[in-house]
């Protein structure tokens, strides 16, 4: 560590969680939330690239109207596995298990999560689920779509439905454990003075996320069990041939999977609240509203699931109820967007990479969210459902929103995690590439969708080609954008400038300890005396040692 | 070459959908401009500079209320508009022409009341409302004609309906838009919208095996339905003449309208709803009659007007299920009847 | 909550925990640790409610739709056995509560006795259940290829279509009681460990949180059965 | 949460006896024809029994507000699942054929 010795430069702390033991066991059997977070980081990055490789294949296939690159069965497996990998093995665990694991205890001044062993267990549970699913992929894949609609999945598909379902089910328990751990930690482990109204919004967001994880995930678990039983033992629960109702499966599936989309955005929203305040040097505008809206999203998120079933044969009455509720759940998101924007007002804004991702998030989430309003409008959904409009909608939110937030968070807390800075200019370039590539990939899909191009199509009519080529071109730019950070993050772990405890001059307990933090996070339990984001107070710009 | 950015409008519903769509785009553009505009303005104005210190603001209740209530009002407006449209688009007008669909993996099969069957093609006349009644023979499919802005999932075990009234002749894409397995993307077809005269001509071309109702009648005999369902008083089963669209009293006291779904249920799971005054002795025909057969039987029952009169197909629907539906133009139904 | 933490506790660091070996390093006080695990257990049970809730939701939908078939299916179940099993589970709940009581007052032998009694009742329950399952097997009431509607058509004079729908009832019967039984088995395995641990003296007076939390789980499983019994066995008994 | 409150044994026995009696009652009632009130009775009794178990065996009666909150949240969300799902099934006939 002799590279960065400019005179008053900070040095790496002598004892930190990274050098507390080097053996394999010291990692694989650790109960340190920070090490577990890193193990998750490595694993989900792997699955992101697996999912990304599948996306690459999808986009290659769709370059030409004819289904010429892969067979239709292969294509169906590609998008199914892409969806399954990305949703259940990347995006749902993304921020909670990496940054959440790392930061939740630190931000509230605790030495660890409430149940460190459960935390480790949940990692291995997740890994087991992932291996099951990988087994399904390797031994031939699964081709039901990530939604597993019956009776296709129970009686007609002849691919590895059970293995995949079991994999997801197992991974689901990992998410339940994580949720329990967070809820208990946030209730029980706060440092003295860390009242609920002083909690960082990242914590509020994770609290809301955990609520969904705990109350929603078991429903998908039992649903997938029923699918597996029906497929394996011929129980007749969803099979219309025996009087079962396939719509009931959809109800149960979406009862979880709609709230799950909020699992996939709330942590990102928490991140944005942290970043926008730091880089504007301002308190958050309307703390109570931002905190409360997270809870509102979590609760209202449970009331709207059947908006995925507007043309599926639910009653007209139910469709109307669910449409109305879908509009209501959009309001708390709107509140957040406006408060973030207002936070920048009269700030002192710097444009470091994490802040660039904030701009990306707000812009793309707004567009994705607004197109959600299209879908919630019954008359429009009838036309655009199951088309590329949907594909564009959710990629705008999930990739444009959540992945942007995730990237922003990685850059922001990278110095805390590794003790070293990433290369700023390269990172800005990558952010720009991702932004451009993203829009080129997914904006044309809105147009395609309204034109009527159905999703999950291996071949398509020739008049859709131009837009598809644009989309594929964008995807290749996007791929470069994601590969770059991979490279420079790894580079920086060894060669990056040493960061010091608080390179951003940020507020929050996690910045008051060394980078990387010691195994027990704080030399002594901190006592909290000020609100979250107390930027601009007299002590604010003074760095604590 | 061919590079459309907007779908053709070829049904009476399409302009309505597009109107809401444009309104939504306007709302979206408004909010995007507002938010992106603010982000850019703030970025330029409040850029960190030497000596610049951020002014701390805790929040503002009036502002919070503003940006809660305005989106709420807009949302409710969008909701009402969208729901209204949906309501209209799901309710077939009175006297719409009927076509049946029985898709399966991976083809679309349509049956016209006069017995015309087509595969992956659908011929309809321009300017007349068409009601599609569909049921899948295996997994869930979805009937989607982008130019009509119409879509409905087609379920196994249950009828779902869609309706449209084509406004422009031509041919349009028909897609299966619910993922249904290997050849989902090949489960496509074309809708041909024709001038009424041409349509007549097309109809009078190769007719096939006689009208749907007449094959229903044959089934009615070969399945021995007529042993119980006779019009004389001693019959063991209720008289089916004039049944369609009428309310039926059940043993449990409830009343149901005898629509397609009810007739289908009566044939396949007869004991689900027992007609008042009868014993549940009717056997189930599940596994003996396929969906096409059931549709033929239903069509036949619909045409049973008075005793033993094999009425021509596709007369106007009796009121009942459509009661209260708005009347549509093109109610008379010339030409579908054959001599 | 945080108010329960005294200023003195705050000063404690990882090393200052001193005396109490049962206090894990990341907690400040014993109360905090106990509160945490208790809350954790409750949140876990909330999860369980939703897990079984999915099954109850399916049950509700089909019961309304196929009421007659549900009645017929329900009538094939053995009410005395169901009722006895309910009683057995209630007994096991009592012994479980007594086990917690013993742990609270710090009586090790008594604790082991009541845990063993609870386990025994659990075993009786599963034994009765397996007799019932076996009966279903010989009656061809297992959904799937070997399912036979003969009994319903001949004895109950149900029309064929209704008789067929009983399959849905039995699918749910097995799914629901099966999930419940799996929970019992898991519980009994854990109980085995608990007995072993208390034999080794791991729960000295004052350290009953583990027992108490396990008790919550066991009572929850009992509650599930309290609902399953009337919903599955007593839908509408022939009068 | 559940403080170190030791519930007196007679409470346990009282609850135990009530539970057993209620099991008998629910079985007995099932054989009386009450029409629609049969399932209602069954559910009322089951709920009553469950509440007894929760309050006394599971010590919720003596527990913190947070425990109450967790318990009620679980049933609240279960209620959402059941009612909104049924809102579809019970209105399938409306208003179209
Ligand atoms: C992270 C994931 C995520 C998030 C957060 C959302 C958020 C929303 N989604 Fe989306 N959605 C998905 C992921 C997500 N969605 C996925 C994966 C699918 C497809 C699944 C599949 O079929 O495979 C889907 C599908 C989907 C459908 C079903 C379409 C169909 O299949 O027919 C609908 C319908 O209502 C919908 C609506 C919404 C709405 C209203 C929101 C709202 O929460 C959005 C709220 C945000 C805003 C509104 C923007 C910010 C607000 C302003 C800038 C102020 C102005 C606001 C107003 C005027 C109200 N989504
Ligand atoms: C969490 C969410 C997530 C993420 C991050 C993504 C990321 C991407 N998705 Fe995905 N997508 C879904 C969730 C997600 N998707 C879901 C749920 C579906 C629905 C599935 C279904 O219908 O069942 C879907 C479906 C879907 C479709 C529709 C398929 C169809 O309906 O036929 C398309 C098509 O363009 C697509 C494209 C992409 C692209 C280009 C990216 C890009 O952002 C990916 C960028 C990343 C990379 C490109 C990785 C970089 C790495 C490399 C380049 C190395 C690769 C190595 C080799 C090629 C050897 N996705
Ligand atoms: Cu049929 Cu897709
Ligand atoms: Cu949704």
The answer to whether residue C11 scores a pLDDT higher than 50 is no
D97 touches chain A (CB under 8 A): no
Q: What is the pLDDT of residue B291?
A: 86
Element (H, E) at B28: helix B14-45
For B250, the token pair is 């059940």
Query: What's the CA gap between A2 and B278, in Å, rounded?
Result: 95
pTM of the predicted structure, to 2 decimals:
0.92
Query: CB–CB of C111/C137 below 8 Å?
Result: no
Taking residues A496-506, report their average pLDDT.
Answer: 91
Neighbouring chains to A with at least 3 Cβ pairs closer than 8 Å: B, C, D
**Whole-angstrom distance, CA of residue A365 vs CA of residue A370:** 8
d(CA A518, CA D45) in angstroms, rounded, equals: 56
Q: Model confidence at A289, in pLDDT bands (50, 70, 90)?
A: very high
Nearest to B175 by CA among A150, A147, A458: A458
Q: Which two tokens stand for residue C13?
A: 């660091």
B281 to chain C: which residues are within 8 Å by CB? 159
Please classify residue B119 by burial: count the beta carbons closer than 10 Å to its beta carbon, then call 0-12 exposed, 13-18 middle and 19+ buried: exposed
- pLDDT category at B332 given cuts 50, 70, 90 is very low
Token output for C101 = 């009581």
Q: Which of C120, C132, C121, C111 shows the shortest CA–CA distance to C90?
A: C121
Q: Which two tokens stand for residue A55?
A: 């996306």
Q: What is the pLDDT of residue B51?
A: 80
D95–B257 C-beta distance less than 8 A:
no
pLDDT tens-digit readout, C31-60: 888 889 999 999 999 999 999 999 999 999
pLDDT at C7 over 70: no
Q: Do C57 and D82 touch (CB under 8 A)?
A: yes
D13's tokens: 């026995």
pLDDT at B327 over 60: no
Looking at ligand 1, which residue's alpha carbon is closest to its atom 13?
Answer: A394
* Chain B residues with at least one Cβ partner in C under 8 Å: 268-272, 280-284, 286
C32 vs B: CB within 8 A: no
pLDDT of residue C10: 36
B323: nearest Cα among B246, B243, B240, B242? B246
Q: How confident is the model at residue A366 (pLDDT cuts 50, 70, 90)?
A: very high
- Predicted pLDDT at B313: 38
pLDDT on residue B329? 35
**Tokens representing A331?**
């309001």
Q: What is the pLDDT of residues B66-107, one digit of tens each?
A: 999 999 999 999 999 999 999 989 888 888 999 999 999 999
CA pair distance B324, C138, nearest whole angstrom: 55
A420-479 pLDDT, tens digit per residue, is 999 999 999 999 999 999 999 999 999 999 999 999 999 999 999 999 999 999 999 999
Q: Does ligand 1 have an atom closer than 6 angstroms to the CB of A297?
A: no
Q: What is the CA radius of gyration of chain A?
A: 23
pLDDT at B306: 55
Reading phi first (left if > 0) and then psi (alpha if -120 to 50, else beta), residue A32 is in beta
B245: confidence class by pLDDT, cuts 50, 70, 90: confident
Nearest C-alpha in C relative to A179: C43
Q: Is A8 a residue whose pLDDT tops 90?
A: no
pLDDT of residue C233: 92
Q: Is the pLDDT of residue B16 over 70?
A: yes
Helix (H, G, I), strand (E, B) or coil at B189: strand
**A298-311 pLDDT tens trace:** 999 999 999 999 99
Taking CB atoms and an 8 Å limit, are A187 and D66 in contact across chains?
yes
C71 touches chain B (CB under 8 A): no
pLDDT at A195 over 70: yes
Which residues are in the CB-under-5-Å shell of ion ligand 4?
A 258
Q: Find the mean pLDDT for residues C176-184.
A: 96
Contacts of C90 in chain D (CB under 8 A): 16, 19-20, 23
pLDDT tens, residue by residue, B189-242:
999 999 999 998 888 876 666 788 888 888 888 888 888 887 776 778 888 888
Percent of chain A with pLDDT strictly greater than 70: 97
pLDDT at A58 over 80: yes
- C150 — pLDDT class (breaks 50, 70, 90): confident
Q: Which of C17, C175, C207 is nearest to C108 (CA)?
A: C207
* ipTM above 0.85 for this complex: yes
In the block, tokens 């004389």 appear at: B232
Per-residue model confidence (pLDDT) at position B315: 39
Nearest ligand to residue B176 Cα: 3
Structure tokens at A411: 């850059």
| D32 inside 8 A of chain A by CB | no
From chain C, the residues in CB contact with A239 under 8 A are none
User: Cβ contacts (< 8 Å) between C68 and chain B: which residues?
Assistant: 271
- Reported confidence tier of residue B325, pLDDT bands at 50, 70, 90: very low
pLDDT number for residue B316: 39
CA atoms within 13 A on the CB side of B214: 11
Residue C2: is its pLDDT beyond 80? Answer: no
Ligand 1 centroid vs A376 CA: distance in angstroms?
8
pLDDT in tens, B275-307: 888 888 888 888 788 888 888 898 888 888 654
Is A482's C-beta closer than 6 angstroms to any atom of ligand 2? yes
For residue A91 and ligand 2, the question of a CB distance below 6 A is answered with: yes
The first and second tokens of residue A18, run together, are 């990274």
pLDDT of residue D95: 52
B186 C-alpha to ligand 3 centroid (Å): 8
Give the β-pairing of B97-101 and B109-111.
Answer: antiparallel
Strand partners for B47: A349
Ligand 3 site residues (CB inside 6 A) read: B 106, 141, 176, 178-180, 184, 187
Query: Which atom of ligand 3 is nearest to B184's Cα?
Result: 2
Kindly list the distances between the CA atom of residue B141 and the CA atoms of A319, A383, B160, B163, B184, in Å, as whole numbers in the listed order: 19, 15, 11, 17, 9
C-alpha closest to that of C3 among A192, A54, A308, A533: A192
Cβ-nearest to B283 among C68, C158, C160:
C160
Contact list in C for residue A184 (CB cut-off 8 A) is 36, 39-40, 43
Assess whether pLDDT exceeds 90 at residue A22: no
Predicted pLDDT of residue A335: 96
Mean pLDDT of A306-322: 94
Q: Is A145 in the pocket of ligand 2 (CB under 6 A)?
A: yes
Q: How confident is the model at residue C161 (pLDDT cuts 50, 70, 90)?
A: confident
CB contact under 8 A, C13 and A523: yes
Q: Cβ–Cβ of C46/D74 closer than 8 Å?
A: yes
A334 CB neighbours in chain B (<8 A) are 67-68, 71
Percent of chain B, pLDDT > 90? 47
**Residue B175's beta-bridge partner residues?**
B144
Q: What is the mean pLDDT of chain B?
A: 84
**Interval B35-50 mean pLDDT:** 93
- Segment A514-521 shows an average pLDDT of 91
Query: CB atoms < 10 A from the CB of C237, how many?
Result: 17
Contact D87 A247 (CB under 8 A): no
CB B56 within 8 A of CB A283: yes
pLDDT band at A225 (very low <50, low <70, confident <90, very high): very high
Taking the Cβ of residue C230 and every Cβ of chain D, the question of whether any pair is shorter than 8 Å is answered with yes
Ligand 2 nearest-atom number relative to CA A441: 40
Q: What is the pLDDT of residues D44-70, one digit of tens each?
A: 999 999 999 999 999 988 888 999 999
Q: Tell me phi and psi for residue B30, to 5 degrees.
A: -55, -50
Chains A and D: how many Cβ contacts under 8 Å? 43
Indicate the burial class of A79 (C-beta count within 10 angstroms; 0-12, 13-18, 19 or more). buried
Q: Is the CB of A458 under 6 A from ligand 2?
A: no
């Amino acid at each position: 560590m002799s590279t960065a010795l400019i005179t008053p430069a900070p040095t790496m702390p002598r004892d930190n969680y990274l050098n507390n033991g080097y053996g394999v066991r010291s990692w694989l059997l650790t109960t340190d939330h920070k090490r577990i977070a890193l193990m998750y980081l490595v694993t989900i990055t792997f699955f992101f690239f697996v999912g990304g490789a599948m996306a690459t294949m999808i986009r290659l296939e769709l370059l030409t109207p004819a289904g010429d690159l892969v067979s239709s069965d292969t294509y169906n497996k590609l998008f199914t596995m892409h969806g399954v990998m990305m949703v259940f093995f990347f995006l749902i665990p993304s921020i909670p298990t990496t940054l959440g694991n790392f930061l939740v205890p630190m931000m509230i001044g605790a030495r660890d999560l409430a149940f460190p062993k459960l935390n480790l267990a949940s990692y291995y549970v997740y890994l087991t689920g992932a291996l099951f699913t990988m087994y399904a992929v390797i031994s031939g894949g699964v081709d039901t779509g990530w939604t597993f609609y019956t009776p296709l999945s129970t009686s007609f598909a002849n691919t590895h439905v059970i293995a995949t379902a079991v994999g997801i089910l197992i991974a689901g328990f990992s998410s339940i454990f994580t949720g329990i751990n967070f809820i208990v930690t946030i209730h029980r482990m706060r440092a003295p003075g860390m009242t609920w109204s002083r909690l960082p919004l990242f914590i509020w967001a994770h609290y809301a996320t955990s609520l969904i994880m705990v109350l929603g995930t078991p429903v998908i678990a039992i649903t997938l069990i029923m699918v597996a039983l029906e497929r394996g033992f011929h129980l007749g629960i969803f099979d219309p041939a025996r009087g079962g109702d396939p719509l009931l499966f959809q109800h149960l599936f979406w009862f979880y999977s709609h709230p799950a989309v909020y699992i996939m955005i709330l942590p990102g929203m928490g991140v944005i609240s942290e970043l926008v305040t730091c880089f504007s040097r301002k308190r958050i505008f309307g703390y109570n509203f931002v905190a409360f809206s997270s809870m509102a999203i979590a609760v209202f998120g449970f009331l709207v699931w059947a908006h995925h079933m507007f043309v599926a044969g639910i009653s007209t009455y139910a469709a109307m109820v669910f449409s109305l509720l879908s509009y209501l759940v959009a309001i708390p998101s709107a509140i957040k967007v406006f408060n973030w924007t207002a936070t920048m007002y009269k700030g002192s804004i710097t444009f470091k990479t994490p802040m660039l991702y904030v701009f990306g998030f707000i812009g793309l989430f707004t567009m994705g969210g607004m197109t959600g309003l299209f879908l919630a409008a019954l008359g429009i959904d009838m036309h655009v459902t199951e088309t590329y409009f949907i594909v564009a909608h959710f990629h705008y939110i999930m990739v444009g929103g959540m992945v942007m937030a995730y990237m922003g968070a990685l850059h922001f807390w990278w110095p805390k995690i590794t003790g070293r800075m990433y290369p700023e200019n390269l990172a800005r370039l990558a952010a720009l590439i991702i932004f451009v590539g993203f829009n080129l990939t997914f904006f044309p899909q809105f147009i395609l969708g309204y034109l009527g191009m159905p999703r999950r199509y291996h071949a398509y009519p020739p008049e859709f080609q131009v837009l598809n080529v644009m989309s594929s071109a964008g995807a290749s730019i996007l791929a470069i954008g994601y590969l770059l950070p991979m490279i420079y993050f790894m580079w920086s772990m060894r060669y990056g400038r040493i960061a010091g405890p608080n390179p951003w001059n940020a507020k929050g307990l996690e910045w008051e300890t060394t980078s990387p933090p010691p195994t027990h996070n704080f030399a002594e339990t901190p006592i909290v005396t000020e609100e979250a984001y107390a930027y601009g107070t007299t002590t604010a710009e003074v760095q604590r040692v | 070459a061919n590079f459309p950015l907007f779908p053709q409008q070829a049904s009476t519903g399409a302009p309505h959908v597009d109107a809401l769509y444009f309104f939504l785009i306007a709302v979206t553009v408004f909010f995007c401009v507002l938010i992106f505009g603010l982000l850019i303005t703030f970025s330029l104005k409040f850029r960190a500079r030497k000596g610049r210190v951020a002014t701390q603001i805790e929040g503002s209740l009036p502002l919070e209320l503003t940006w809660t209530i305005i989106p709420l009002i807009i949302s409710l407006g969008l909701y009402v508009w969208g729901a209204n449209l949906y309501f209209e688009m799901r309710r077939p007008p009175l006297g719409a022409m009927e076509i049946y669909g029985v898709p399966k993996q991976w083809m679309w099969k349509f049956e016209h009341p006069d017995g015309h069957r087509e595969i992956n093609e659908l011929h309809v006349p321009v300017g007349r409302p068409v009601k599609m009644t569909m049921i899948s023979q295996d997994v869930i499919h979805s009937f989607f004609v982008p130019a009509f802005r119409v879509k409905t999932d087609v379920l196994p075990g249950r009828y779902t309906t869609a309706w449209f009234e084509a406004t422009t002749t031509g041919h349009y894409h028909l897609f299966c838009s619910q993922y249904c397995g290997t050849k989902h993307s090949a489960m496509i077809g074309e809708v041909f919208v024709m001038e009424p005269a041409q349509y007549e001509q097309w109809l009078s071309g190769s007719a096939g095996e006689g009208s749907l109702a007449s094959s229903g009648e044959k089934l009615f005999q070969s399945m021995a339905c007529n042993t119980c369902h006779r019009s004389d008083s001693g019959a063991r089963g209720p008289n089916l003449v004039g049944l369609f669209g009428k309310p039926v009293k059940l043993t449990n006291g409830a009343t149901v309208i005898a629509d397609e779904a009810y007739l289908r249920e009566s044939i396949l799971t007869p004991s689900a709803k027992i007609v008042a005054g009868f014993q549940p002795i009717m056997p189930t025909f599940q596994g003996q009659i396929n969906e096409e057969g059931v549709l033929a039987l239903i069509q036949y029952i619909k045409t049973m007007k008075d005793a033993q009169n094999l009425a021509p197909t596709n007369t106007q629907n009796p009121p009942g299920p459509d009661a209260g539906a708005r009347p549509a133009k093109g109610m008379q139904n010339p030409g579908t009847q054959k001599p | 909550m945080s108010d329960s933490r005294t200023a003195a506790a705050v000063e404690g660091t990882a090393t200052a925990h001193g005396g109490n070996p049962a206090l894990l390093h990341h907690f400040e006080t014993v109360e905090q640790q106990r509160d945490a695990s208790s809350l954790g257990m409750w949140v876990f049970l909330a999860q369980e409610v939703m897990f079984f809730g999915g099954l109850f939701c399916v049950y509700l939908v089909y019961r309304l739709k196929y009421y007659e078939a549900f009645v017929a299916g329900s009538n094939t179940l053995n009410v005395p056995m169901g009722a006895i099993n309910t009683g057995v589970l209630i007994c096991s709940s009592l012994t479980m509560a007594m086990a917690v009581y013993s742990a609270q007052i710090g009586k090790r032998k008594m604790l082991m006795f009541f845990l063993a009694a609870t386990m025994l009742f659990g075993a009786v329950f599963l034994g009765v259940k397996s007799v019932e399952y076996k009966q279903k097997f010989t009656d061809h009431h297992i959904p799937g290829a070997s399912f036979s509607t003969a009994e319903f058509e001949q004895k109950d004079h149900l029309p064929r279509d209704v008789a067929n729908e009983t399959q849905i009832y039995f699918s749910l019967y097995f799914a629901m009681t099966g999930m419940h039984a799996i929970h019992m088995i898991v519980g009994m395995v854990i109980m085995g460990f608990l007995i072993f641990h208390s034999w080794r003296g791991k729960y000295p007076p004052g350290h009953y949180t583990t027992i108490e939390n396990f008790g919550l789980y066991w009572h929850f499983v009992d509650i599930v059965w309290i609902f399953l019994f009337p919903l599955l066995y007593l839908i509408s008994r022939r009068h | 949460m559940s403080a170190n409150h030791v519930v007196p044994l007679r409470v346990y026995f009282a609850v135990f006896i009530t539970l057993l009696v209620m099991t008998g009652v629910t079985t007995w009632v099932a054989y009386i024809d009450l029409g629609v009130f049969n399932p209602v009775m069954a559910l009322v009794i089951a709920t009553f029994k469950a509440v007894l178990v929760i309050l006394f065996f599971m010590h919720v009666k003596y527990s913190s507000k947070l425990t109450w909150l967790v318990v009620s949240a679980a049933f609240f969300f279960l209620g959402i699942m059941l009612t909104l799902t049924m809102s579809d099934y019970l209105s399938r006939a409306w208003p179209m054929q």
